[in-house]
Structure 1
């Protein structure tokens, strides 16, 4: 491990583990607060793509900072063998933990989605696409403030406002990504729509027994609102879902446009389209 890290921070227990390293709780005398140290063993990175993501993530997070709904980066400490990214410390529960096995009310869903859209709109204004939006990558600080995290798959838009590359997680990835075409920031808006659908219904809009079956369902893009689970969901919420989980990216809302939708502006009030 990097000696500079040990000198600058008091390291405590491991609080998480990923493909390339561990996350350790630590104390920063400079910040006078606890932080999370994401310690990555560069020696296990044999793939050039993984190395590129490792280099890019801290740069993107630094560009995006500060924003109240994006995980804050404080420091990067590196030597030949290890890269450590020092991050804001969040609670151990994610959005996934909040929604698994239960549905959320419309006001609670609207509040969470508004915060997520605020984070995304900020990313998109700065030319960054997240590309792996899912509940597991949405954290909360000790005050309950939503924090968008994990920019390992994020990419800068090119001069034409596009990116390429098939990345993402089966349930949440947009159809244009799966087709292998260039795409824009609206791929993120699709993913937020899927997250909102799960909040309100307790099930994903597209599913299958395998990743292949899920991808096929996503590519068909047949959005349905089964009566048994959407009976009590307002027309306004369903209107927003249709406009975010829209197969045609040219007709899909951007994050900025979704923030101006009546359902979001009303805080999830069920009469917001009346």
Structure 2
């Protein structure tokens, strides 16, 4: 059925942006409100399926109840003679799965995404809505960096009045944790067909295809599993044990999937090994077996492992998880902020002290003051060296060099307050080292112009140090290093012979 160019009221369909097993997603234009929209449309054959139409309507109702900035908003639901359309907010960006594959996320960004998605679960669970298909492909990042959770097509309201299962309302969060009404045996434990999944035992490639191990990700495992009637059950890679077993799902099922989501974004790997069949993934999921969490901090690993607990009651709620993620995000920042504050206070005190000392007074007092000034300056420069050197080296791999911006600015103010003509060669050499570290930090941050200006300032001071002490090896070495930094920032290739001539001052 060709829909491009058709109008439904004031909505005009302009393009196809995605295709799925149950329907397609189109781009459209709202001529009345002058905005771009997305439209989810059922395939023609699925429109005759009452369950498929009910699922689309259920998604519309779920989205209409969930007013949250991190959820893809619904604009309208249209029923025409030949097609049903869900009119949604148009999101211009990438899925989190695409970003993970490209390895573009810093630890700070990962935590921000995690908090946003967990906050969506808080909002949904408060209304008794279970997403049932949370995965990196269903979370998008807009060009402005906003997080958007998509696809509530599998979402279900938990039945508060059901007499077939016991209901427990969690005191810390007004959400439902329903005890399962039944337990479906695993395929290997029963001679009967596993009703939750069609043709599992026959491994029909039309329903449960074997994974292609040559791919970098388990693309096949990201597909929905369907029954013979075409009912979407979920995505194998991110199923909770109870979902894989065909048991009753609760908000805790979403939290298990969220744990696998965290594992994917923080480790960059899927929660199940490559090269498995869909049946093998389902069996692993039903037993609560996943790849071990490796390559992340202990705090993050501990949270993921709590979320992956086999028993639903042992998993933290969405509210608990949001609080923990925010704490982890603030933890590193608190340490750095305290260090930055200590450095700032120290530099301010040092500056005030330095400029209030009258070195022109009696000789004994002047000598003592200079000794104290040199001592404090040495302490300040040691602290700057640590912040811009060792700490910068530790922050660079996790993409957190931006934390040192305030340190760099204050260090630059401090260096600018110094008077080279009053400083000895050794003092100038230490200052040159501090400026070079700041310039190197700016280079790592991609601020080439700032780095170049810093290295030029450093070169002038290094040359002055050599002029004052021509035979001082430290001054000579620092002059050579500064020239190398300056050449590198200007894009000049290193001199032949390893730059030995750099130790000789330029005329």
Which TM-score band (shorter chain)?
Answer: 0.7 to 0.9
Contact preservation (8 Å) 1:71, 1:88? yes
Aligned residue in 2 for 1:237: 300
Q: Which runs of 5+ in 1 are unaligned?
A: none
TM-score (norm 1): 0.86
Q: Can you list the C-alpha shifts for 1:75-128, whole angstroms capped at 9, x where unaligned?
A: 111113201111111125211101126384432211111000011110110110
Name the residue aligned to 1:253. Answer: 316
Please, which of 239, 243, 254 is the counterpart of residue 188 of structure 1?
254
1:266 counterpart SS class: helix
CA distance in 2, matches of 1:224, 1:16: 30
Structural RMSD (CA): 2.7
Residue aligning to 1:267: 329
CA contact (8 A) 1:110 1:268 kept: no
TM-score normalised by length of structure 2? 0.48
Residue in 1 that maps onto 2:108? 107
The answer on whether the counterparts of 2:28 and 2:38 sit within 8 Å (CA) in structure 1 is yes
Is residue 2:239 matched to residue 1:177?
no
| Alpha-carbon distance in 1 for matches of 2:80, 2:312 | 43
SS in 2 for 1:12: strand
Q: Partner residue of 2:490?
A: none
Does the C-alpha gap of structure 1 residues 32 and 131 become closer, same or farther in structure 2, counting only changes over 3 Å? same
Contact residue 109 and residue 268 of structure 1 kept, 8 A = no
Cα deviation, residue 234, structure 1: 1.3
Partners of 1:46 and 1:10 in 2: CA distance: 24
Distance 1:52 1:8, change over 3 A: same
Report how many residues are paired.
266
- Kindly indicate whether residue 58 of structure 2 is the aligned counterpart of residue 56 of structure 1: yes
Distance 1:176 1:125 in 2: 21
Map residues 79-98 of structure 1 onto 2, 5 A cutoff: 79-98=80-99
Greater relative CO (CA pairs within 8 A, separation 6+): 1
Larger Rg: 2
Matches within 5 A, 1:189-228: 189-207=255-273, 209-222=276-289, 225=292
Q: 1 or 2, which has the higher strand percentage?
A: 1
CA distance in 1, matches of 2:6, 2:62: 23
Report deviation, 1:24.
2.2
